[in-house]
Structure 1
Amino acid sequence: MDPNRRTEAESPWGDAARIAIGRASDRRIVAADPDGVRRTLSDAEFPAWVAARETERRVRWVWSSTAEWYPSLLAAGVRIERCHDLRLSHAILKNAVPGSALAAHAQWDAPDEEHAPALFDLDTGPRRDALDEVLRELARQDESLEASSDPGRMRLLLAAESAGALVASEARSAGVPWDAAEHNRILEDALGHRGAGGVPTTMARLAGEVRGALEDPQVSLDSPPQLLKALRAAGMHVDSTSKWVLQEIDHPAIAPLLEYKRLARLLTANGWAWLDEWVRDGRFRPVYVPGGVVTGRWAAAGGGALQIPRQLRAALRADPGWRIIDADVSQLEPRVLAAMARDERMADAARGQDLYDGVVADGAVATRSEAKIAVLGAMYGATTGDSGRLVPRLRRVYPRAMRLVDEAARTGEEGGTVATWLGRTSPPLDEATRRLLSTATTAADEQRALRRARDHGRFTRNFVVQGTAAEWALAWMADLRIRLAALPAVPAEDAAPRSGRAFARRAHIAFFLHDEVIVHAPADQANAAAEAMRESAAAAGRLLFRGFPIDFPLDLSIGDSAVA
């Protein structure tokens, strides 16, 4: 069988009849079915009409942006199975298909209204939610898709990206179950009680110790220039206040200063102000931005969902009668690298065990810590220190994997672009560096240009791996949300009403962070949800890397909170 050919049964979030959704000139909703028949609906009629179509046939809803259209459906309790997000697909196709007509339509490059800067008010062309513009953009994307280097893989990428947009909206709608009282307890245990002027008591005590040791009672520990001046006045020859510099210094001010800086980060990122702003009625609802990073990884436009510290995980707590199922993938990116490169020896090192232990068993390095340094160095282009010493050993043991990232780096250094497994394309070398490379007349200019080119090569080296890992994660979640939707709804008396009308009675994805997914599920469905997570991880591997023997084991726990 052609490894790039995938049937509808193998990809349940794949092909379906397309219904385009947009706005008429009077701002009423207009839907166009595959036969071109149009139906005009009010905003109030829209959810019930969508729900009815979902039960009649396999539908792929085509709309300008999931972030703009889906929240109102979820608020009405209507969940859809699949969509085509034109804005996200536009970004992928425009970069992946040279000469695409998509490049001339800048209104599709604009951020979603919810994420747009307050001053964003550019006249970039027709309104992208107008139905006629939706249909024109869809036609342009269909043409660009067929012109891509591998339409089969690109079609799968667009479906996965759009499914990820559905997950992002659903996760925000349902929210992360959050115990505000537990969060407050954690903050008080770590920071102390909120004292005068908003400075927690433990932090105030540490600040006093630092000022005493520095013999400077007025220095602000939150001002790097002031702190640097005080450190130097105390006899420390430093040029930075970073912890990497400070932890090498032997002085009585350093230990309390490092602890103060650690607590200050917690207070700033996830302290009481964060709790007041982002947690409402037992739910944390961050704003996810699918495809917010050029590699395809998600970003966050509010709430900091992609950096919740482990210290606060105990506050991520299931509703009564429900459970938290927390799963993350062990060494996702190295496993993806092995599969992309078809490096069977590296895949064997990962099978059924910790991949780094497998690298040691293969004789590439002596210890697990060395294996981790070497593998990460290979993917991120580290050339100095322990990485520089250990990476060459990987080339001898895993030549296929190393050849893939080495060639990606070389392409980037030469000014070319690279692509992920499914076809997301890296941005080109910036024009300033190109000009410098072609016009450098002095040795200094030439060296500066070469450094920039090498930096771009390190970026493209990692782009292919990190981007493909993001594609695997999208495929995992796309398959998982379908499996969870197939679990029966619980009785109303067992519902979690704070999860909203769409998910109060159903297991659902509540949180996502690169290679980790958290599901909130009724207690009697927790084991079934956990099995669905495992099955979806395996299905994602088969879907992307058909025929190649690589596994994606999950570190999975079931409990009342996200702390196992």
Structure 2
Amino acid sequence: MDVALAPSGERSGGVEVAELDDDGRTVRVQRLDAADLARHVARLERQGPRWVWAATDDVYPRLLSAGVRVGRCHDLRRGHAILTRSTYAAGPLPSAGDERWAPREAAAEDVAPTLLDVVDAEVPLELSDVLAEHRAQQEAVEASAHPARLRLLLAAESAGTLAAAELTHVGLPFDAAEHDRLLTDLLGPRPLPGQRPPVMEELAEQVRTALDAPALNPDSAPDLLRALRSAGVDVESTRQWELSRSDHPAVAPLLEYKKLARLHGANGWAWLSAWVSGGRFRPGYVPSGVVTGRWAARGGGALQLPKQVRGAVVAGPGRVLVVADAAQLEPRVLAAMARDEAMAAASRRGDLYQALVDDKVVDTRAHAKVAMLGALYGATSGESGRLLPRLQRSYPAATGYVEAAARAGEAGEVVTTWLGRSSPAPSEAWQDAQRWSAQPEADPDERRTARTQAREWGRFTRNFVVQGTAAEWALCWLADLRRELAALGGGGGTGAEDARLVYFLHDEVMVEAPVGLAAAVVDAVRLSARRAGRLLFGTFPVEFALDVQVVQRYSEAG
């Protein structure tokens, strides 16, 4: 049963709820006060419906605050974003171009998207809009080239929105006193506002002395660059990789200063005060906030929790953390997408990189990783370029798959993930440059620039198909695990005594569980990973290996 939900146009603060039959016809509409919504949803939830709404963020956090968890939903805004771009779809949605469904913070038309673009869009719509969009999306999926894949993608995407809201609601267990102790060990006592921590100030003074620049502010990149050059350090920037090539006595304290400055700025005492309360860290997650479908974070830096402070993530009394991450996920996904039997066989031996060494594709595990990353990201020079031909000879189907995606991108074409998320087209400016470079009157510099831009876009599309499909696998893993955890505890996976999801990072999940449920959670984590592989790739024999650890502190997971 589908149940559509939207703000009421007739009663301020009210909600309209429409129950639909199996054919999508409305059989009952009710208008509720906002205060009645949670009770009504809880009653209907016993029937296992799929809730249909414009955006999960508009509704679900309030339901969770009222103690109501839902099992399934269809987030129409996420579905709209996928279907209006997917090459699997037979044609545009009727609502395509309707600004009410458009993201609030869409990128400017001629700004090239990157793998880190964040999309943020939740705008309330009326019940009639919700019902019309729901019908249109269902029809678009059925008429598509791959309805089963798109149906799975929309279901997983919507489940991800529920999981994201629950992750924020539940929060990550966090020991503020331990975090303070870790910061004090690394930075010295907490400074007054506007001052540097003592250890950073000491390092800054070492840098000033080594550069003979007593007034230098090491936080100012232009000033620092001038001081370095004046001291004979030949660098074009203050990036770590470039500074590391110099043995000047200022470099070591400067690199340490920059590392501690990042920690202090991103996860220091101010961050602790802003984002941790009641023993929980509650960041804001943005499902599919990245153009490939990966998640992003809206505040709190959930996807950037550095190792220096992971010791403060501590399970409560009588509880443990089950930390699981998918090993070498993208190469395994590539093997399955390309139907590369040889690479799939390597995946079934555990450590895929070591398997490449054992098969004499490369001589060391480090070289195996370099070669694989070169294939995934389009490296053509250095060690990656030297090793890539070996990978191409051993795994022609896999390497050919990403090469084809790269050539499509260089030609300005759109590429699509396994389940149906399509890449954006290059900007008009990019296309104009390519067209002009082909004209006889274009000069050599313009042709070189256009060719460089084409190669860069090809690297983007090359990785898009793999990173995007890996994100789909991870989302299916998360969605299935969410369901499994709900079956383990009486609170549906969000109650204080349940085994509950508390963290998700691309290919890693963390579950906080009672000690007595730890073994069952480990089994659920592994079972859900196997199911995710079968959902996407059927019986193709690729193995998605997991590293699963039961720990008291996040830092113990390695």
Q: Using structure 1 for the length normalisation, give the TM-score.
A: 0.91
- Tell me the amino acid that sits aligned with residue 534 of structure 1: R
2:463 is aligned to: 462
**What 5-or-longer segments of structure 1 have no aligned partner?**
1-16, 113-125, 491-499
Tell me whether 1:183 sits opposite 2:179 in the alignment.
yes
Deviates more, 1:94-103 or 1:522-531: 94-103
Give the conservation status (yes or no) of the 8 Å contact 2:101–2:123. Answer: no
1:515 corresponds, among 465, 484, 507, to 507
Tell me whether 1:30 sits opposite 2:20 in the alignment.
no
Shift in Å, 1:313: 1.0
1:212-227 → structure 2 map (5 Å cutoff): 212-227=209-224
Shift in Å, 1:211: 0.9
Q: Distance in 2 between matches of 1:417 and 1:209?
A: 52
Give the conservation status (yes or no) of the 8 Å contact 1:127–1:133. Answer: no
Tell me whether 1:255 sits opposite 2:252 in the alignment.
yes
Give the conservation status (yes or no) of the 8 Å contact 1:377–1:387. Answer: yes
Tell me whether 1:160 sits opposite 2:161 in the alignment.
no
Give the conservation status (yes or no) of the 8 Å contact 2:493–2:499. Answer: no
Q: Distance in 1 between matches of 2:358 and 2:341?
A: 15
Secondary structure in 1 matching 2:85 = helix
1:317-336 → structure 2 map (5 Å cutoff): 317-336=314-333
Give the % identical residues: 52
Shift in Å, 1:224: 0.7
Give the conservation status (yes or no) of the 8 Å contact 2:190–2:269. Answer: no
Q: Distance in 1 between matches of 2:127 and 2:216?
A: 60
Shift in Å, 1:101: 2.5
- Tell me the amino acid that sits aligned with residue 183 of structure 2: L
1:211 is aligned to: 208
Shift in Å, 1:432: 0.9
Shift in Å, 1:129: 2.7
Q: Distance in 2 between matches of 1:272 and 1:455?
A: 39
- Tell me the amino acid that sits aligned with residue 148 of structure 1: S
Give the conservation status (yes or no) of the 8 Å contact 2:100–2:125. Answer: no
Q: Distance in 2 between matches of 1:111 and 1:327?
A: 34
1:413 is aligned to: 410
2:32 is aligned to: 41
Label 1:135 to 1:259 Cα distance change in 2 as closer, same or farther (>3 A): same
Secondary structure in 1 matching 2:35 = coil
Q: Distance in 2 between matches of 1:416 and 1:100?
A: 21
Q: Distance in 2 between matches of 1:69 and 1:394?
A: 49
1:164-313 → structure 2 map (5 Å cutoff): 164-195=160-191, 197-313=194-310
Q: Distance in 2 between matches of 1:539 and 1:352?
A: 19
1:380-459 → structure 2 map (5 Å cutoff): 380-440=377-437, 441-459=442-460
Q: Distance in 2 between matches of 1:476 and 1:236?
A: 49
**What 5-or-longer segments of structure 2 have no aligned partner?**
106-121
Give the conservation status (yes or no) of the 8 Å contact 1:394–1:402. Answer: yes
Q: Distance in 1 between matches of 2:493 and 2:364?
A: 51
1:144 corresponds, among 117, 135, 140, to 140
2:488 is aligned to: 487
- Tell me the amino acid that sits aligned with residue 523 of structure 1: V
Give the conservation status (yes or no) of the 8 Å contact 1:75–1:502. Answer: no
Deviations 1:339-366 (A, max 9, x none): 1111111011111321100111122111
Shift in Å, 1:111: 4.2
Label 1:352 to 1:364 Cα distance change in 2 as closer, same or farther (>3 A): closer
- Tell me the amino acid that sits aligned with residue 135 of structure 2: A
Label 1:528 to 1:153 Cα distance change in 2 as closer, same or farther (>3 A): same
Give the conservation status (yes or no) of the 8 Å contact 1:76–1:501. Answer: no
Give the conservation status (yes or no) of the 8 Å contact 1:362–1:397. Answer: no
Q: Distance in 2 between matches of 1:409 and 1:278?
A: 41
Label 1:294 to 1:274 Cα distance change in 2 as closer, same or farther (>3 A): same
Label 1:32 to 1:257 Cα distance change in 2 as closer, same or farther (>3 A): same
Q: Distance in 1 between matches of 2:280 and 2:210?
A: 43
Shift in Å, 1:21: 0.4
Give the conservation status (yes or no) of the 8 Å contact 2:405–2:465. Answer: yes
Give the conservation status (yes or no) of the 8 Å contact 2:174–2:281. Answer: yes
1:59 is aligned to: 49
Deviates more, 1:38-47 or 1:220-229: 38-47
Shift in Å, 1:447: 1.7
Secondary structure in 1 matching 2:374 = helix
Secondary structure in 1 matching 2:20 = coil
Secondary structure in 1 matching 2:555 = coil
Deviations 1:352-385 (A, max 9, x none): 3211001111221111000000001101011110
Deviations 1:131-177 (A, max 9, x none): 11111111222232233221111011000000000100000000011
CA RMSD of aligned residues (A): 1.7
Deviations 1:257-308 (A, max 9, x none): 1111110010011011100100011011110000111100001111000111
- Tell me the amino acid that sits aligned with residue 474 of structure 1: L
Secondary structure in 2 matching 1:222 = coil
Label 1:99 to 1:34 Cα distance change in 2 as closer, same or farther (>3 A): closer
Give the conservation status (yes or no) of the 8 Å contact 1:278–1:286. Answer: yes
Shift in Å, 1:489: 3.2
Q: Distance in 1 between matches of 2:424 and 2:285?
A: 22
Q: Distance in 2 between matches of 1:342 and 1:526?
A: 35
Shift in Å, 1:316: 0.8
Shift in Å, 1:563: 2.2
Secondary structure in 1 matching 2:363 = coil
1:101 corresponds, among 85, 89, 94, to 94
- Tell me the amino acid that sits aligned with residue 555 of structure 2: V
Q: Distance in 2 between matches of 1:399 and 1:210?
A: 51
Shift in Å, 1:213: 1.2
Q: Distance in 2 between matches of 1:208 and 1:397?
A: 53
Secondary structure in 2 matching 1:427 = coil
Label 1:138 to 1:128 Cα distance change in 2 as closer, same or farther (>3 A): farther
Give the conservation status (yes or no) of the 8 Å contact 1:75–1:501. Answer: no
Shift in Å, 1:195: 3.5
Tell me whether 1:531 sits opposite 2:527 in the alignment.
no
Deviates more, 1:327-336 or 1:102-111: 102-111
Tell me whether 1:110 sits opposite 2:103 in the alignment.
yes
Label 1:127 to 1:404 Cα distance change in 2 as closer, same or farther (>3 A): closer
- Tell me the amino acid that sits aligned with residue 32 of structure 2: L
Give the conservation status (yes or no) of the 8 Å contact 2:349–2:355. Answer: no
Give the conservation status (yes or no) of the 8 Å contact 2:172–2:502. Answer: yes
Shift in Å, 1:24: 1.5
Q: Distance in 2 between matches of 1:297 and 1:362?
A: 32
- Tell me the amino acid that sits aligned with residue 19 of structure 1: V
Q: Distance in 2 between matches of 1:48 and 1:240?
A: 59
Give the conservation status (yes or no) of the 8 Å contact 2:292–2:468. Answer: yes
Shift in Å, 1:505: 2.4
Q: Using structure 2 for the length normalisation, give the TM-score.
A: 0.92
- Tell me the amino acid that sits aligned with residue 161 of structure 2: A
Q: Distance in 1 between matches of 2:128 and 2:402?
A: 43
- Tell me the amino acid that sits aligned with residue 540 of structure 1: A
Tell me whether 1:70 sits opposite 2:60 in the alignment.
yes
Q: Distance in 2 between matches of 1:550 and 1:83?
A: 30
Give the conservation status (yes or no) of the 8 Å contact 2:322–2:550. Answer: yes
2:498 corresponds, among 506, 530, 551, to 506
Label 1:111 to 1:315 Cα distance change in 2 as closer, same or farther (>3 A): farther
Q: Distance in 2 between matches of 1:397 and 1:514?
A: 28
2:540 is aligned to: 548
Secondary structure in 1 matching 2:554 = coil
Give the conservation status (yes or no) of the 8 Å contact 2:58–2:124. Answer: no
Deviates more, 1:519-528 or 1:190-199: 190-199
Give the conservation status (yes or no) of the 8 Å contact 1:18–1:33. Answer: yes
